[in-house]
Structure 1
């Protein structure tokens, strides 16, 4: 049987980069780097429901985030502080960072769901287009019983 993997994806609204916090973020010195770090952190936190953790017990540190995002440690530390000020990130009691708006952005799928979605689209393409209204009774009028004496 085929391997059924789970996939997580990030759903961004079309006005994501027009939101006040992102506009303010990108207007800062190194702001484009900060927005890049923010998007990478959103992606890293998808599997854990918004928490930035290596596993259940080990939260990411600023150094670990710098390594994973391929940015300098000073840039990451400044970015995390700015994210806290803008309300984009919270630090939990466990020390883990939590991406505050992630719940609205998480999407999830699996290989089986993708296969079914593709099959539905294929079946939809094979159906002949309807020319009249959308009711079955437009194609086949209902049967009427007539009483004969």
Structure 2
């Protein structure tokens, strides 16, 4: 895991058609909260949008319910909605992948910034 303490969320998130559709659902608050928690978890793991307990253990629905402190049925509903809207992919090995993670998080820019910071620190230590 990298030492990244933030994720990008666009100020136009509530203008997104998928978020608007989620907002119209009966369990909208729970589903949206789970979406944000998944994004944060992907940011903590920092593996190009993959979400897992460790590299060999995918999260189960039950694990996510415990970690997110949400009812299991709400977790399952949210994951179904996210799959339907192509916001996530559940891979054959049951790992969760956030679709378009790199695009939304500007990973190339983040890597460039980390490289610049490394060089700056190295120069400072000289």
**TM-score over 0.5 for the pair:** yes
- Which structure is higher in strand share? 1
Provide the residue aligned with 2:54 in structure 1: 55
Query: What is the SS of the residue equivalent to 1:10?
Result: coil
Match of residue 82 from structure 1: 81
Question: Which of 14, 17, 20 is the matching residue for 1:20?
Answer: 17
Return structure 1 stretches of 4+ with deviation > 4 angstroms. Answer: 107-110
Aligned to 1:64: 63
SS across alignment from 2:54: coil
Instruction: Judge conservation of contact 1:91–1:98 (CA < 8 Å) in 2.
Output: yes
The answer for unaligned runs of 5 or more in structure 2 is 121-126
Between the aligned partners of 1:51 and 1:8, the Cα distance in structure 2 is 17
Residue matched to 2:72: 73
Equivalenced residue count is: 109
Equivalent positions of 1:1-149 (< 5 A) are 6-46=3-43, 47-106=46-105, 108=110, 113=117
- Classify the secondary structure of the residue corresponding to 1:98: strand
Shift of 1:27: 0.9
- Secondary structure at the counterpart of residue 57 of structure 1: coil
8 Å contact kept, 1:88–1:100: yes
For each residue in 1:10-68, what CA deviation from the matched residue of structure 2 results, as whole angstroms up to 9, or x when unmatched?
11121111100001011100111101100100111122221110111001111111111
Query: Please, which runs of 5 or more residues in structure 1 have no aligned partner?
Result: 117-149
**RMSD between aligned residues:** 1.9
Bigger radius of gyration: 1
Deviation at residue 78 of structure 1 after TM alignment: 0.7
Q: With the length of structure 1 as denominator, give the TM-score of the two structures.
A: 0.66
Structure 2 Cα separation of the partners of residues 54 and 84 of structure 1 = 20
Which structure shows the bigger proportion of residues in helix conformation?
2
